[in-house]
Amino acid sequence: MRIVITGGAGFLGSRLARRLLERNTLTDACGVEREIHQILLLDVAPPTGAIGDPRIAYQTGDLADPATIERAFAAGADSVFHMAAVVSGQAEADFDVGMRINLDATRLLLERCRKLGRAPRLVFASSLAVFGGPLPDPVPDDAPLMPQASYGTQKAIGELLVYDMTRKGFIDGRSLRLPTVTVRPGTPNRAASSFASGIVREPLAGVDADCPVAPTTRMWVSSPRTVVDNLIIGHEAPASAFTHSRSVNVPGLCVGVGEMVEALREVAGDGVAKHVHWSYDAAIDRIVSTWPAGFAPSLGHALGMRGDDDFRSIIRAYIADDMPRN
């Protein structure tokens, strides 16, 4: 089995690859469990740390360039995890870049999958930003798509393309609407939700962190551990588990930003939590406030997905898995 992971050099893409190597098998679109012989990690830049396994291959290039996609799929693909994207804040600030990577590259990838000799199983990393406006609380799986920012719009269009190409038999697709993933290691990125990692990661390193939204702001979040598990569960779900849609609200944890800071205080103490400072940013708040925070992910639970138990466990997972050691 050959697997292509776009965004494979990124944090989630590389973590997903490691987890797949541990499993050693995946189920293809015909429902057959097969041994993994290669995972191609495709990204715009090389990884910061290579995975030392002969089953891993790397390719760099512009995902919106047909030549890059053609080279990635020249040897075929049985499964695809499409993780690459321009993050929410950047997509809102630079409309052309967001459209090129989040929409044009997605369309190009899907068209190349369509031309493969056998329909691959494809997981599209979508977002809960496809929702917005007046919504019930909690949001059900079949709530209408009403994105309120460019990123959510681009993801919503991608979902519709995944569904239509699945309906036509070109792919066996499923779109997983991921919660905000926290805590991410490394440096802040341009995602509007980046602060959800920063208010934990930086204080644990003894560095001050600004929180741009109010303590009462609520978010739907998940640890990297749990998101990777749910990505694989979504891939392994048989086509028969879906009905009129191939989109899944992935389970998460509904938590207030103030509660996140209190959880940090409980886990690491007052001396760490005092590094968080409330510094309102209207541009960030305007994006985050459009995202619903409570969901009723019935299909995700039925498929076997789960959310984290509490935010303290998310912090402890970061400390165990990703926090730099002196």
Residue 187 buriedness (CB in 10 A; 0-12 / 13-18 / 19+):
exposed
For residue 170, the SS3 value is coil
Q: How far apart are CA 192 and CA 205, in angstroms?
A: 22
Active site includes 151?
A: yes
Residue 246: phi and psi, rounded to 5, are -115, 20
Q: What's the CA gap between 9 and 84, in Å, rounded?
A: 9
DSSP 202-237: HHHTT--EEE-S-TT-EEEEE-HHHHHHHHHHHHHS
Q: What is the DSSP letter of 24?
A: -
151, 163, 280, 318: the catalytic one is 151
Under a CB-based contact definition with an 8 Å cutoff, are residues 286 and 230 in contact? no
The Cα–Cα gap between 176 and 159 comes to: 9
* Catalytic residue positions, numbered: 151
